[in-house]
Amino acid sequence: MEDKIRLEISGLSYSQAQTGAYALVLSETEGNRSLPIIIGSFEAQAIAIELESMKPSRPLTHDVFKTFADEFKIDIKEVIIYNLQEGVFFARLICEDKNGLVSEIDARTSDAIALSVRFKCPVYTHEFILKDAGVIIDEDAEIRPAHSNVEQDIADAMSDAETKTSLSDPIQSKTAVQLNEILKDALSKEDYEFASKIRDEIERRK
């Protein structure tokens, strides 16, 4: 297909619709449609850690994959979300080795995005996927389907993604020094979800 549309990460937040899940929002770089995808907490943490340049005490699975690929001179050139079936997105990693041989590897979309932020490679999808599952956020923050056939739960997922997870009062009451100490402790315990909340609060105060 030649209708590849480039996407970028525009949101990642806890999904109130599904316990333990997160809403990852990918938006087209040249347009106003967004693609909300429900992903697991582990993959959400893997994406957030890399986006926020956080250094875990031990490498995560996606970090090991990146190190392995670098060691054997394999690069991920792009990620393509190529299909959507019964609400499940399908993705491929387009890889190239040191000899220029290009290979395609199937992957879960959440894993593919976690790898894309590590390899600094672009993410694409196709027009038919955005037509079926895309949503549009109006200037007044109203969310509406980009296509009449989009399911209601996709719009709900997008709504969750736009809802910022509020920080608890105990966190907000801490000083900057205390927050940095708490952040170090959370990282050492590999509690990356809590560490992301602390990092957000530190950034908010700057």
| Structural domains in the chain, sorted by start | 5-165 (3.10.690.10), 166-206 (no CATH)
The whole-number pLDDT of residue 57 equals: 85
Q: Which residues of 170-197 are buried (b: 16+ CB within 10 A; e: fewer)?
A: ebeebeeeebeebbeebbeeeebeebbb
pLDDT given for residue 150 in this prediction: 37
pLDDT score of 89: 96
pLDDT tens by residue, the chain, 206 residues: 458 999 999 988 876 666 678 889 999 999 889 999 999 988 998 999 999 888 888 899 999 999 999 999 999 999 999 999 988 999 999 999 999 999 999 999 999 999 999 999 999 999 999 999 999 865 554 445 554 333 344 444 444 444 433 333 467 767 877 888 888 887 777 777 777 778 777 877 77
pTM: 0.70
What's residue 2's pLDDT? 59
Neighbours of 147 (CB within 10 A): 14
Confidence at residue 203, expressed as pLDDT on a 0 to 100 scale: 76
* pLDDT of 143: 46
Distances (CA, A) of 126 to 52, 82, 89, 194: 28, 6, 12, 35
Q: What's the pLDDT score for residue 21?
A: 83
pLDDT at residue 186, rounded to an integer: 77
Write down the pLDDT at residue 104.
Answer: 97
Q: Could you tell me which residues are beta bridge partners of residue 137?
A: 143
Distance CA 23, CA 161 (A): 5
